[in-house]
Amino acid sequence: MSFGSPYMTIPKFSYLKPNSISEAIELLEKYGDDAKVKAGGIGIIAFMKERLTSASYLVDLKGIPELGMVQESDGYLRIGATVTLRRLEEMRNLKLMALHEAVSSIADPIIRQSATLVGDTCEAIPWVDAPPALISLGAYAHVAGKKGTRDIPVSQLIKGTGELSIDSGEIITGISIPESGGNSTYVKFSSGSEYSIASASVNVNPKSKELTIVMGAVAESPRIFNQSTVEWKWGESVEKNIRGVWKTFDDRLEPMSDMLSSSEFRMKISKMVVARALKDLFGGA
Amino acid sequence: MRTITITANGLSREATVEDNELLLNVLRDKLGVTNVKAACWRGECGLCTVLLNGLPVKSCMTLAVEADGKEVVTAEGLYSDERARKLQESFVEHGAMQCGFCTPAFVVTSHYVLSRDPEIDGEDLKKELSGVICRCGTYYQIYDAVRDARKYYKELPVRV
Provide, rounded to the nearest whole percent, the portion of chain B with pLDDT above 90: 94
Q: Per residue in B96-112, pLDDT tens?
A: 999 999 999 999 999 99
Helices (H) and strands (E) in chain B, counts: 6, 5
- Residue B38, CA distances (Å) to A12, A14, A66, A251, B35 in order: 21, 24, 34, 49, 9
**Count of alpha carbons within 13 Å of A244, Cβ hemisphere only?**
17
* Average of per-residue pLDDT across A190-199: 83
- Shared domain for A52 and A77, answered yes or no, is no
Interface confidence, given as ipTM, is 0.95
Q: Which residues of B fall within a CB distance of 8 Å from A47?
A: none
According to the model, what pLDDT value does residue A22 have?
96
Q: Which residues of A fall within a CB distance of 8 Å from B20?
A: 9-13, 15
Q: CB distance A109–B61 less than 8 Å?
A: no
Taking 90 as the threshold, does the pLDDT of residue A6 lie above it?
no
Q: How confident is the model at residue A208 (pLDDT cuts 50, 70, 90)?
A: confident
Taking 50 as the threshold, does the pLDDT of residue B160 lie above it?
no
User: Where do the structural domains in chain B lie, given as residue ranges?
Assistant: 2-76, 81-155
- Shared domain for A208 and A248, answered yes or no, is yes
Which of the residues A38, A54, A108 would you substitute to probe the B interface, choosing the one with the greatest number of B C-beta atoms within 10 Å?
Answer: A108
Q: Which residues of A fall within a CB distance of 8 Å from B67?
A: none
Q: Is A7 within the bounds of a domain?
A: no
According to the model, what pLDDT value does residue A1 have?
43
Q: Which residues of B fall within a CB distance of 8 Å from A45?
A: 61, 63
Q: Which residues of A lie inside 8 Å of B (Cβ-Cβ)?
A: 1-2, 6-15, 41-42, 45-46, 49, 58, 60, 62, 107-111, 113-114, 194
Cα–Cα distance between A280 and A260 in angstroms, integer?
Answer: 27
- Shared domain for A31 and A113, answered yes or no, is no
- Shared domain for A205 and A245, answered yes or no, is yes
Q: Per residue in A60-76, pLDDT tens?
A: 999 999 999 999 999 99
Cα–Cα distance between A76 and A66 in angstroms, integer?
Answer: 17
The per-residue pLDDT of chain A, averaged, comes to 93
Domain that holds residue A54: 14-59
Least confident piece of the model among A70-74, A226-230, B29-33: A226-230
Cα–Cα distance between A255 and A112 in angstroms, integer?
Answer: 29
Cα–Cα distance between A205 and A212 in angstroms, integer?
Answer: 9
* Average of per-residue pLDDT across A113-131: 95
* Average of per-residue pLDDT across A98-109: 95
Distance from CA of B35 to the nearest CA of A (A): 18
According to the model, what pLDDT value does residue A180 have?
78
Taking 60 as the threshold, does the pLDDT of residue B17 lie above it?
yes
Q: CB distance B63–A8 less than 8 Å?
A: no
- Shared domain for A253 and A167, answered yes or no, is no
Answer whether A82's CB lies under 8 Å from A64's CB.
Answer: yes
Q: How confident is the model at residue B159 (pLDDT cuts 50, 70, 90)?
A: low
CATH number for the domain that contains residue A89: 3.30.465.10
Look at chain A and report how many structural domains it folds into.
3
B46: alpha, beta or left? (left if phi > 0; alpha if psi -120 to 50): left
* Average of per-residue pLDDT across A166-191: 92
* Average of per-residue pLDDT across A183-202: 90
Distance from CA of B63 to the nearest CA of A (A): 9
Q: How confident is the model at residue A231 (pLDDT cuts 50, 70, 90)?
A: confident
Taking 80 as the threshold, does the pLDDT of residue B6 lie above it?
yes
CATH number for the domain that contains residue A48: 3.30.43.10
- Shared domain for A94 and A123, answered yes or no, is yes
Segment holding A108, helix H or strand E: none
Taking 60 as the threshold, does the pLDDT of residue A94 lie above it?
yes
Q: Is A37 within the bounds of a domain?
A: yes
Q: Which residues of B lie inside 8 Å of A (Cβ-Cβ)?
A: 18-20, 22, 38, 40-44, 46, 49, 55-58, 61-63, 65-66, 109, 127-128, 130-132
- Shared domain for A49 and A84, answered yes or no, is no
Taking 80 as the threshold, does the pLDDT of residue A95 lie above it?
yes
* Average of per-residue pLDDT across A276-283: 94
CATH number for the domain that contains residue A194: 3.30.390.50
User: Which DSSP letter does residue A194 get?
Assistant: S
Which of the residues B61, B70, B125, B133 would you substitute to probe the A interface, choosing the one with the greatest number of A C-beta atoms within 10 Å?
Answer: B61
Q: Which residues of B fall within a CB distance of 8 Å from A8?
A: 38, 41
Q: Is A84 within the bounds of a domain?
A: yes
Closest Cα in chain A to B62: A41
- Shared domain for A174 and A227, answered yes or no, is no
According to the model, what pLDDT value does residue A2 have?
45
Q: Which residues of A fall within a CB distance of 8 Å from B42?
A: 1-2, 6, 46, 49
Domain B81-155 indexed as CATH 1.20.120.530 = no
How would CATH label the architecture of B2-76?
Roll (3.10)
Distance from CA of B20 to the nearest CA of A (A): 5
According to the model, what pLDDT value does residue A194 have?
73
Taking 70 as the threshold, does the pLDDT of residue A279 lie above it?
yes
Q: CB distance B46–A108 less than 8 Å?
A: yes
According to the model, what pLDDT value does residue A92 have?
76
- Shared domain for A155 and A90, answered yes or no, is yes
- Shared domain for A215 and A267, answered yes or no, is yes
Q: How many CB pairs under 8 A join A and B?
A: 69
Q: Which residues of B fall within a CB distance of 8 Å from A114?
A: 57-58, 61-62
- Shared domain for A123 and A162, answered yes or no, is yes
Q: CB distance A45–B61 less than 8 Å?
A: yes
Q: Are strands B49-52 and A210-216 parallel, antiparallel or unpaired?
A: unpaired
Q: Residue A46: which of B19, B20, B42 has the nearest Cβ? A: B42
- Residue B153, CA distances (Å) to B115, B141, B160 in order: 6, 19, 12
- Shared domain for A101 and A131, answered yes or no, is yes
Residues 6+ apart with CB under 8 A from A102: A129, A130, A132, A133, A186, A188, A199, A201
